[in-house]
Chains A and B, each alone.
Chain A
Amino acid sequence: MKNGYKMQDAFERLYKRSKHFTIEKMDLLFYPYLLMDFEVKYTGKLERLSEHVLVMCDMWKGQYSMARTSGEFVMTDVEENTVIPVKMDKMQVIKDAPKTVYSEIQKAKRVLNIPDIEYESDELVYKPFFIVECLNDDKEVFHILFDAVTGDFSLLNA
């Protein structure tokens, strides 16, 4: 996936949140996902639904999520040890993916009617994250995981 944030952008975004720490080190890490396209069809008395939905599965831990957009992709060479390996079985992931679509529909729409969900295609993609090492005012170390596509970040070990 294409970086929305370069290292300098990540620096600025983090320092915007607080001045009471310093960034000591930052490096890239690529996280694997299977991006799947499904067609969802539903015909009710008052409405019809025929949409493509994108489901992502984290291929390291097997967690599913709905993708908001297909995103932008670029081909790039990366160092091998900066890529988290794929642990999940691709066929099983595709087989189980419709459950995520069902539960998302249930949660969002509170329905018991389930639509037909048909598999269309898939692609293995990698999302760039920055691992950021920081020091607080007491010189204690903490780490941040920074999503280089969306700019979201989360404390890793604190």
Chain B
Amino acid sequence: MIGGGVTEYVVLIIYLIGMIGIGVYWSKHSKTSEDYLLGGRSIGSVLTALTLQTTSMSGYMFMGGPAQTYKDGYFTLWYAVGDGGGAIFNVGILGKRMRRLSYYLGCLSPIEYIEKRYPGKATRAIAAVIAICFVYGYVLAQFLSAGKTMSALLGVPLPVAIIIGAGVIVFYTFAGGYLAVAWTDFIQGIVMVCSMVMIFILAWGQVGGLTGLNEQLTAIDPTYTGMWGKDNAYLGQWGVVAGAVGVYLIGYMGLPHVVIRHMAMESPKLAKQTVVIATVWNQLFIFIPYIMGLMGIILLPELGQPGGDREMVVLMLAYKLLPGVLAAIVLVAIMSAIMSTADAQLMLMGTMLGRDVYQRYINKEASDKQLMSVSRICILVVGVVSIIIALLRPPGVFSLVVFSFSTLGSSFLPSYVGAVWWKRGNTLGCYLSMISGCVISVIWEAAGLAGPTGMHTFFMGIIVSIAAYIIGSLIGPPPTKEMQDLIDRAACKTKIPAGLATANYKDIAPETSGVLTFLKDSSYMEERGFQPV
């Protein structure tokens, strides 16, 4: 316990009142329904990029990443290296082709895209079950992070803090959403970024910069600065290194909630700016939490002792380096950022369980009110189960997030990439790939096979999943001629001028698909002297 004083409670109360005040003010002053319902659309590319990045990385960034670096030293930076290049890699391979094919298939959601590209009775069920199970990993990671932050902030024991933290998140998801406007997300993001940079600069000065950091780490244990992990734990295990880099470098291509960004753009200008800002942001910011873990080895040696919790490294650095009020503000900002991430993920899970499972397989005629009730019950159950798991056997935030990421990546990556790059890729290949990628990842992780075999869970999962996709696609019947034509068209052999190639506006995506169907089925083009479309 590092907080728990009057300052922390006062800051927490003022901060919460401030955030609620902004929400209430904004909701009372929105002039049109568009402001109210679609408020996020009016913010620019900088705000969009910052908000997306900060709210998507909270628990992992503040606890998981630094803790793992504290444990393994420089080795953990392999994950950061992959993460730094992931966005560009992802856009380069899937970007245009996936956007075109999703237009032609007329779908805007990633599970719907898989279902239409690989038509079959079980496609949606398999995809939804895997997505739900492993998005849950992220939710649990947020609950754990929230509990630990609460414990640090309020000075209460961890089990009590987990119950409070998870309870607050579930309550916030039920009641607080109307007030969670883009601006509160943005303010939280700014506080988080400023705090992290401030702590980083102060700690950097304390350890004597890069030279001081490396010298002191080497003095403690030379293997901290090596590329194979502390005590050379992964010496010569290139399979583990490849998995560590690959999980974030290519793994993004298998995440349904990430690939959806390729399927449509708001506008070319905004999308381009957002990608550029996000990429620059990644290069600047991805490494900071990891390096703070390294600095923690020197500045907070007690965390390495038995009973020390390495996931508290950033929180304890805040208390060690910042004045009391500022440290409390940092912790509150972290807590609220975790909440804004967690509630979005809980909502996503609730919606998937309601629409993709309950409505599709249990009650096809379910009304919206029934769906809402089912989603609420599911969220409540998820919340209670998470609290029980967190109390009985809490996993580490880092391992939980990497495992969830690896499994989602292994399960979906071959199907998403094959969908646009291999015409032969078919439904059987998709089934085998999703199931084998998921099963192998779970077995590998549960049996702890990464260490003995020198093969990272992601690396193993993706190899098996790709092999299954290829074998299934070669055995099963090929996709229809119509589907193969669509894939050919998505490949776009025609050279399009650069200025036009990026001009696929999200707002007219449905019409683009509709007009194409109409033009193909009617004599419009011929009658008006156009070339066939």
Contact = CB atoms under 8 A, between A and B. Distances in A.
Interface of A: 14, 17-21, 25, 27, 29, 31, 40, 42, 44, 46-47, 49, 51-54, 58, 60-61, 63, 65-66, 68-69, 81-82, 84, 98-99, 102-106, 108-114, 127, 129, 131, 133, 136-138, 140-145, 147, 150, 152-158
B505 A25 contact: no
Contacts of A109: 37, 177-178, 180-181
B205 interface: no
Judged by DSSP, the binding face of B is helix
A54 B530 CA distance: 35
B515 A155 contact: no
Contacts of A42: 178
Given A61-B514, A81-B524, A112 B492 contact: no
Contacts of B173: 110, 112
* Main SS class of interface, A: mixed
B402 to A, nearest CB: 26
A20 B494 CA distance: 13
Interface stretch (B69-77, B313-321, B461-469, B495-503): B495-503
B33 A144 contact: no
A61 B517 contact: yes
Which are the 10 A-B pairs with shortest beta-carbon distances? A111-B177, A18-B499, A17-B499, A18-B497, A152-B505, A110-B177, A20-B497, A51-B33, A63-B510, A61-B514
A46 B20 contact: yes
* A27, A49, A60, A155: residue with the most chain B Cβ atoms closer than 10 Å: A155
Given A84-B518, A156-B516, 12 more contacts: A44-B175, A44-B178, A47-B28, A51-B33, A58-B510, A81-B527, A110-B344, A114-B372, A136-B495, A150-B507, A152-B508, A154-B509
Given A46-B20, A133-B531, A145-B511, A112 B350 contact: yes
A158 B494 contact: yes
A157 B516 CA distance: 8
Contact of A154 (B37, B343, B379, B508): B508
Contacts of B379: 112
A8 B492 CA distance: 28
Nearest to A150: B507
A66 B522 CA distance: 29
B512 A105 contact: no
A135 to B, nearest CB: 10
Contacts of A137: 495, 497
B267 interface: yes
A38 to B, nearest CB: 10
A45 B132 CA distance: 32
B177 to A, nearest CB: 3
B50 to A, nearest CB: 18
B514 A68 contact: no
B156 to A, nearest CB: 27
Nearest to B27: A47
Contacts of A82: 524
B338 to A, nearest CB: 14
Contacts of B358: none
A58 B500 contact: no
Contacts of A40: 33
B175 to A, nearest CB: 7
A148 B55 CA distance: 37
Given A60-B518, A131-B530, A51 B497 contact: no
27 contacts: A18-B497, A20-B499, A25-B528, A27-B530, A46-B24, A46-B179, A47-B27, A54-B33, A58-B511, A66-B38, A84-B518, A106-B347, A110-B344, A113-B175, A114-B368, A136-B494, A144-B500, A145-B508, A152-B505, A152-B507, A153-B505, A154-B505, A155-B503, A156-B515, A158-B100, A158-B489, A158-B496
